Structure 1
Amino acid sequence: MNPWETTSSNLPIRHDLEVQPLINASSDDQAVQLFLNQETTSGAPRFAATTRSNYEKEFRRLLWYISSLDKSLRQLSLEDAKGFVAMLNRPPLSMVGFSKRPYGAADWKPFVVKKNWAEGEPVLSPASIHLSITTIKGLFNWLQSVGYVSFNPFVLMKTDHQERRLEAFKRKNRALLIQDIRHIFQTLSDDESRLWNDEKALRKLQREKWLFHAYLYSGLRLSELIRNDTSSLQSITVSDKALWKMNVIGKGGKPAELPVPKPFIEALYQYRSSLGKLPAPSSLVPEPFFFSLSGSRPLTSRAALHDIFKGLMERVAVSLVAQGQLTDAARIRASSVHWLRHSFVTIGVELTNDVAAMSELARHSDIKTTMGYNHQQLSRLAETVESISKHIEDNTY
């Protein structure tokens, strides 16, 4: 066979030359780990810990799947990729578990569902399947670029057209409207009146209320409050005016001082009181911002806070459906904790027209921001935050 082939452009291509990979990996598992362990030019990890963990979960599923085919990453075909996507839509029941187990354990399962899951229900949502395919495409693009595989079998994989349109809608509209916030406050108020003599239910309600207020009135990222503690809160006086500020560590390990308004502090006090704790936390005794219902152990899981938030949103949506407000219900059901950050920024920009101040408060990575504010800068930002909180209260309560 002639090793040379002439293309339509008359440029010869050699097929008998072996391409040496640019990575030293003797197995698929090692190749995947090299992808996950990439570093930036400054030597920092390319992927944040949470992102890395999520990627690794998707790759473990892929490696399990190809091992069931007795193939390697290099041997995957387009048909194999289609089979993997079909498997994501309907995993074998033998591979579905109800609790997370360490990878490599005898009872490890590539798919984990909640205890109330019933056979026949989807294991992964369309959005999760879309994310899985996108993540694996990225892995194969990298493996191809370093010469470990010759092509990307997932390159032609597409998610359902309607699902992609829904995802595009969510990306463009990831902020709650004032009317949504009004609905949520109304539900919290109604539930508080209804549950006034149920101590456990009230503790749960106060936790939901605190979570909602904490993120809506601060613009914090979900992880920034979870990995922080109450010692980060400080009361200071600027020009005879008392202010509250919080020290946080943002993306990329960047420190920041952020002002927080009265509704944030008041909701925290009410939540702590419901647990039998002193309303005002001590700066000398660090405590987590969220606890179990008994108040005996900290809640530091993103998934736990996500479930708390979604539980509240579902109650609000059910109430709206009963009132015939289906559009509002659908939007609230689609929301996540991160939407509260977008809501904070959106309301702030519309209200103050001070893009610079909102950029500082949001700490967007593409804005050159002074992270160590002096007291006068903090006072200016505090006025912006207070105006946002007043606007929300004036238009929702």
Structure 2
Amino acid sequence: MDDYRQQELLDRIDEKTAELPWYVGEYVDKKRRTMSPRSLLNYCHDYLIFFNWLLTEGFYNGKRQDVPLSCLEKLTPQQIENFLSYLHFRLNNDRFTINRKLSSLKSLFNYLQNVAETSDLKPYLVRNVMAKIAFNKIKEDQETVAQKMAGKILWNDEYDAFRQFVAEDYCETVKDNKKLLNFHQQNAERDTAIISLILGSGLRLSEVVGLDLSDVDLKKRMVRVLRKGNKEQYVYFSEQAGLDLADYLDVRAKKYQLPPSNKALFVAASMGPHRTTRRLSPRAIENLVKKYAVAFGKPALSVHKLRHSFATRYQAENNDIPKLRRQLGHSSIQTTMIYTHLSNEELKKAVDHMDDHFVAPDGN
């Protein structure tokens, strides 16, 4: 991520913290040293949702920025449970998303109780209601998680077939719709490069979005990414991904009418009266993957499932969990271990082999 992109995220964080109480801004400033700007921006979004809810429910009559610490200290566990229900039933957040939002709130409240101090050395909060709230129980054994995932990823010949579909075959499905056909022809190299890069490297959505031209080394087939925890890492990509990236880079500036100052790797078509171009957003990449997935006949495919597809293929062909862990940027090897459960052909053969020894009761 270049300095411009980093500064852009930091500016957005400043915009969000200006809309939040002073003590939230203080906490965010403390976390800048240890958290990536993208993760910190997600925290800010979570806090905006929480404080908006406080005002809507009447816990404080005033501006969001003026919510006092005393308001947080008086919250009950049941009221927080009501907030979690609001996330689930009103905002349609799944259990994983709710746990993430709860985690960001727990971190803030812990800071206010156990880290921050007033001028007379007293904690900002004496009572921390978030310490009494449990996360949603969503843990499943790796075999169960793997089997749920298995039907939603690409297998065997589907890797190449899906890439081929994006590059060339999709246009056949929209040939009678001139608008869709023109749009695909405009973006075919870009979309193919995105799909091919994820399938050939296992990058996260945020990592793909944040890539700049200077982050790509076609000769070494590596990209520089900022991983979770604000750690910079060089990640390898496949030969096919390299070819597709090269094809895209050959047409990028001309097709998207880009000035030399635009350093984003993946960009959207120019829009507006000034014909300005912009970096592709996470939502835009999610939508383009969904569009191709539905047309391909695998509607459950997503950016994250493409990442899973890469990991499954890598593990099946290399059987090297430590290297896969590094490639994916997992902090825990247990997260990577799930891919050992996705393609257990020996177990399948053993079960099938049972039929060879089965003898019917009547001897036939």
Report if TM-score (shorter chain) is over 0.5. Answer: yes
Distance 2:324 2:51 in 1: 44
Other-structure match for 1:306: 286
Which of 315, 318, 321 is the aligned partner of 1:352? 318
Native 8 Å contact 1:233 1:246 kept in 2: yes
Q: 1:159-184: per-residue Cα shift (whole Å, max 9, x none)?
A: 5x7x7769983898498341563663
Question: Which residue is equivalent to 1:227?
Answer: 210
Asked whether the 8 Å contact 2:211–2:266 carries over to 1, the reply is no
State the partner residue of 1:193: 172
Q: Distance in 2 between matches of 1:354 and 1:82?
A: 42
Count of aligned pairs between the two proteins: 280
- Identity across aligned pairs (percent)? 20
Q: Report the Cα offset of residue 308 of structure 1.
A: 2.5
Which residues of 2 match residues 190-339 of structure 1 at below 5 A?
A: 190-195=169-174, 198-234=181-217, 243-251=219-227, 254-272=231-249, 277=254, 287-294=263-270, 297-316=277-296, 319-320=297-298, 329=299, 332-333=300-301, 335=302, 337-339=303-305
Question: Which of residues 54, 62, 72 in structure 1 aligns to 2:42?
Answer: 54
Deviation at 1:212, TM superposition (A): 0.9
Separation (CA, whole Å) in 2 of partners of 1:260 and 1:230: 15
Q: Aligned equivalents of 1:301 and 1:126: distance in 2?
A: 24
Question: Which of 150, 155, 162 in structure 2 is aligned with 1:184?
Answer: 162
Q: CA deviation at 1:340?
A: 3.4
* Superposed counterparts of 1:103-122, under 5 Å: none
**1:29 matched residue in structure 2:** 21
> 1:276 offset after TM fit, Å?
7.5
Structure 1 residues 193 and 274, CA, compared in 2 at 3 Å: closer, same or farther?
farther
Mean Cα displacement is larger for which, 170-179 or 340-349?
170-179
Aligned to 2:357: none
CA contact (8 A) 1:36 1:47 kept: no
Secondary structure in 1 matching 2:224: strand
Residue aligned with 2:267, SS: coil
Deviation of 1:310 after TM superposition, in Å, equals 3.1
Give the distance between the partners of 1:366 and 1:133, measured in 2 at CA. 21
Could you tell me which runs of 5 or more consecutive residues in structure 1 were left unpaired when the two chains were aligned.
Answer: 1-27, 92-121, 236-242, 321-328, 368-397
Q: Is the 8 A contact 1:203 1:271 kept in 2?
A: no
- Provide the secondary structure at the position in 1 that maps to 2:106: helix
- The residue that corresponds to 1:343 in the other structure is 309
Conserved? CA contact 2:225–2:235, under 8 Å: no
Amino acid paired to 2:30: Q
Q: Which amino acid aligns with 1:36?
A: V
Summarize deviations over 1:266-315 as a string: whole Å, max 9, x none.
Answer: 3224445666838xx9xx99743212135961324333323322333344
The amino acid that maps onto 1:60 is L
Cα distance in 2, alignment partners of residues 266 and 129 from structure 1: 40
RMSD of aligned residue pairs (Cα, Å): 4.2
**1:136 equivalenced with 2:105 (yes/no):** yes
**CA-to-aligned-CA distance 1:315-366 (integer Å, 9 cap, x gap):** 44xx35xxxxxxxx5xx34x4x244344334322321234555455445557
Q: Distance in 1 between matches of 2:114 and 2:253?
A: 57
User: Alpha carbons of 1:345 and 1:223: their partners in 2 closer, same or farther (altered >3 Å)?
Assistant: same
Query: Which SS does the other structure have where 1:311 is aligned?
Result: helix
CA contact (8 A) 2:270 2:278 kept: no
Q: Does 2:59 correspond to 1:69?
A: yes
Deviations 1:232-272 (A, max 9, x none): 4445xxxxxxx443351433555555444331133224445
Higher helix share: 2
| Structure-2 change in CA distance of 1:170 and 1:272 (3 Å) | same
Q: Is residue 195–residue 202 contact of structure 1 (8 Å, CA) maintained in 2? A: no
Note closer, same or farther for the CA distance 1:127–1:315 as it changes in structure 2 (3 Å cut): farther
C-alpha distance in 2 between matches for 1:135 and 1:253: 17
Q: Distance in 2 between matches of 1:365 and 1:265?
A: 27
Residue identity in the other structure for 1:47: M
Gaps of 5+ in 2: 1-19, 61-69, 116-122, 334-364
Q: If the length of structure 2 is used for normalisation, what is the TM-score?
A: 0.60
CA contact (8 A) 1:89 1:123 kept: yes
Q: Within 1, Cα distance between the matches of 2:236 and 2:52?
A: 48
**SS of the counterpart of 2:266?**
coil
Summarize deviations over 1:128-163 as a string: whole Å, max 9, x none: 34432343234334434344141325734665x7x7
What's 1:20 paired with?
none
User: What is the CA–CA distance in structure 2 between the aligned matches of 1:290 and 1:244, rounded to whole Å?
Assistant: 20
1:70-101 Cα offsets, whole Å, 9 max, x none, are 2710111123223323433455xxxxxxxxxx
Pair 286,255 (structure 1): closer, same or farther in 2 beyond 3 Å: farther
Name the amino acid aligned to 2:47: F
AA paired with 1:150? Answer: R
The amino acid of 2:316's aligned partner reads E
Alpha-carbon offset, residue 210 of structure 1: 2.0
